[in-house]
Structure 1
Amino acid sequence: MNTRTDRLTLADGTVGLPLWLPGSGRGPGIVLIQEIFGLDGYLASVAADLAALGYVVAVPELFWRFAPGWSSAHDEAGVAASMEVAGQFDPERGVTDVLAALAHLRALPETGGRAGVFGFCLGGALAFTAAARADPDVAVSFYGSTVPARLGELGRITCPVQFHFGGQDPYIPREEVRKVEAAVAAHPGAEIHVQEDAGHAFHNHVAPMFHHPEAAARAWELTTAFLRRTLPV
């Protein structure tokens, strides 16, 4: 695996775009979208895991306009600090950044023009919106907090899309997840998996207050199988 930082030119500035490349140097692209904790060790480990599967992974920095380089601890104080920083975030600009990163990946010779979106929490919501606004090859959304409220956008998604939620998530009530289940059941190419014994951010292995190892392992196996089917290396 190799890493490098490209430059992503946006309407209001230019920002670094970290990339993780597989050992082969080539593969389909994935825009990996952050949680409120920023581009931290956890997100870097997910990028490395995806690169090890054969993907070229780009991680746009969503908070670069007001908190460049932001990352925080994964405890109660870190959550509070990250929530304060995330309060300054403009989701519309975030979607624009994600779509610019998607276009950048598709333009790279290493990806052959194929790329999808994949996000956790804040990033899970943005992955859903990006899939509704554009045409990624695939979308994966882990516990996207605004997804239940924006299900009207599901009909605009034409790519394969996979959702993950925790059945014990205090931020996304189970009754809201049921709405997503019902909508997904009627949408071709969509699937949803609920880890009933897990809460929010259950995949985040550096956050003891959230991590659920068994649920994380099950969800990751489902995710990698989905990617192999829909965005094969």
Structure 2
Amino acid sequence: MSATTTTAVDLSGLSAARGGSRRLTGHLTRPTGPGPWPGVVVIHEALGVNDVMHRQTQRLARAGYLVVMPDLFTDGGAVRCLVPTFRAALSGRGRAFHDIEAARTHLAQDPDCTGRIGVIGFCMGGSFALLAVGGGDYDAAAVNYGRPPGHLERALTGSCPVVASYGARDRTLKKGAASGLEASLDRLGVVHDVKEYPEAGHSFLNDAEVGPRALRPLTRVAGIRPHPESAVDAWRRIDDFFATHLRGDGIDGAPGT
């Protein structure tokens, strides 16, 4: 696989102008070779930007996407930002949404972006991705074990195509999260691919355990751990979905055909 280049970008101006964070750092990862490329906004998990999240962005860049991951904890750190950011992910309101929009705008303004932009979220980021799909700003969304909001169908109205992956052993979510999401997407006529993996739990797409080592026995009990076998299939589905809806592979007259 080809190498990628990651640089820190200052998104503060774009976020503050929208009522978001006064300080916001993004991590921009570029594929090698000539652009332009479709863009992807990566929304990190509840534990913040870490090595696992950077590897997820690099994986997407190697697949041919211009990727930006905003650090939603920039303005205050994880300790101060986690609770209000998590509340925003559940309520649909808060500065984190303006920060995510700043990241999307940064991609849209980059001359190396084709203008087609997707969003992918993990854990808390999956909840944000679900709440972002209905605004008409994204061409595809990948939702990974994100908690569906109470006003799910309102959030999904006008949604872009959605690929979603859940683990049946995820004790952080109510049972039926995946089937409920699929039923809502069906009723709304949204193009989708939703799958629940019977042997997987929360954070099964991570390639390593994260968080304080002392707490890992508890997180394992809660079903929070990698599950490589399920992850391989989930990434295959995400890759295929983004190739179709962002690159236009297999769509007559679209780029990449």
> Is the TM-score greater than 0.5?
yes
TM-score, with length taken from structure 2 = 0.79
Structure 1, gaps ≥5 residues long: 71-81
The alpha-carbon deviation at position 113 of structure 1 amounts to 1.8
The alignment covers a number of residue pairs equal to 218
CA RMSD of aligned residues (A): 1.9
Whether 1:35 aligns to 2:45 is: yes
Give CA-to-partner distance per residue, 1:90-111, whole Å, 9 cap, x none. Answer: 5221111111110110110000
Give CA-to-partner distance per residue, 1:137-157, whole Å, 9 cap, x none. Answer: 111110102x15331234423
Q: What amino acid maps onto 2:28 in structure 1?
A: L
Identity of aligned residues (%): 29
Structure 1 residues 120 and 150 mapped into 2: Cα distance closer, same or farther (>3 Å)?
farther
SS at match of 2:118: strand
Q: What amino acid maps onto 1:225 in structure 2?
A: D
Structure 1 residues 199 and 25 mapped into 2: Cα distance closer, same or farther (>3 Å)?
same
Give CA-to-partner distance per residue, 1:185-213, whole Å, 9 cap, x none. Answer: 22321221111211111111211831111
Give CA-to-partner distance per residue, 1:22-52, whole Å, 9 cap, x none. Answer: 0125211100000011110000001110000
Aligned counterpart, 1:13: 22
- The residue correspondences of 1:210-221 to structure 2 (distance < 5 A) are 210-221=225-236
- The residue correspondences of 1:113-152 to structure 2 (distance < 5 A) are 113-145=115-147, 147=148, 149-152=150-153
- The residue correspondences of 1:122-201 to structure 2 (distance < 5 A) are 122-145=124-147, 147=148, 149-186=150-187, 187-201=189-203
Aligned counterpart, 1:55: 65
* 31-40 vs 170-179, greater mean Cα deviation: 170-179
Residue of 55, 69, 80 corresponding to 1:45: 55
Which of 1 and 2 has greater Rg?
2
Aligned counterpart, 1:101: 103
The alpha-carbon deviation at position 178 of structure 1 amounts to 2.3
Whether 1:224 aligns to 2:224 is: no
Structure 2, gaps ≥5 residues long: 89-93, 210-215, 248-255
